[in-house]
Structure 1
Amino acid sequence: MSNSDRVVLVLGGAGTVGSGIVKALLDKGFKVAVISRDGGRLDRLRSFVSPNTRDNLTAVVGNVGSEQEAEQAKQQLLQQVGKVTDVVSSLGFSWWQGGPPHTQSLKDLHWVIETLLFSTFVSWKAFFPLVRDESSSTYTFITGGAGEKLLMPGTGFLTVGAASSLAFCQVLREEYPELPCKLNQVKIDTGVATPDRMAPGYLNHLDLGEAVATLVERRNTSHTVFTVNCPADLKTVILEKNL
Structure 2
Amino acid sequence: MSKSDRVVLVLGGAGTVGSGIVKALLDKGFKVAVISRDSNRLERLTSFISANTKDSLITIVGDVGSEVGVEQAKQDLLKKVGKITDVISSLGFSWWQGGPPHTQTLKDLHWVMESLLFSTFVSWKAFFPLVRDDSKCTYTFITGGAGEKLLMHGTGFLTVGAASALAFCQVLREEYPESPCKLYQMKIDTGVATTERMTPGYLNHLDLGDAVAKLVEQQNASHVVFTIRCPADLKSVVLDENI
TM-score, with structure 2 as normaliser: 0.99
2:63 matched to 1:63?
yes
Q: Say which SS state the counterpart of residue 97 (structure 2) adopts.
A: coil
Q: What is the percent sequence identity of the aligned residues?
A: 80
Structure 1 residue ranges (4+ consecutive) displaced by more than 2 angstroms after TM superposition: none
2:12 matched to 1:12?
yes
2:141 matched to 1:141?
yes
- Contact 1:37/1:61 (CA < 8 Å) preserved in 2? yes
Cross-structure match for 1:209:
209
Alignment of 1:145-224 (within 5 A): 145-224=145-224
- Contact 1:221/1:242 (CA < 8 Å) preserved in 2? no
Cross-structure match for 1:50:
50
CA distance in 2, matches of 1:17, 1:242: 25
1:90 to partner: Cα distance: 0.1
CA distance in 2, matches of 1:62, 1:187: 26
Gaps of 5+ in 1: none
1:189-239 CA deviation, whole Å, 9 max, x = no partner? 000000000001000000000000000000111000000000000000100
CA distance in 1, matches of 2:190, 2:91: 16
1:6-44 CA deviation, whole Å, 9 max, x = no partner? 000000000000000000000000000000000000000
TM-score, with structure 1 as normaliser: 0.99
Q: Say which SS state the counterpart of residue 169 (structure 1) adopts.
A: helix
1:168 to partner: Cα distance: 0.1
Gaps of 5+ in 2: none
Aligned-residue Cα RMSD (Å) equals 0.6
Q: Say which SS state the counterpart of residue 184 (structure 2) adopts.
A: strand
Cross-structure match for 2:107:
107
1:69 to partner: Cα distance: 1.1
Cross-structure match for 1:227:
227
CA distance in 1, matches of 2:81, 2:191: 33
Alignment of 1:108-127 (within 5 A): 108-127=108-127
1:87-107 CA deviation, whole Å, 9 max, x = no partner? 000000000000000000000
1:241 to partner: Cα distance: 5.8
CA distance in 1, matches of 2:10, 2:163: 22
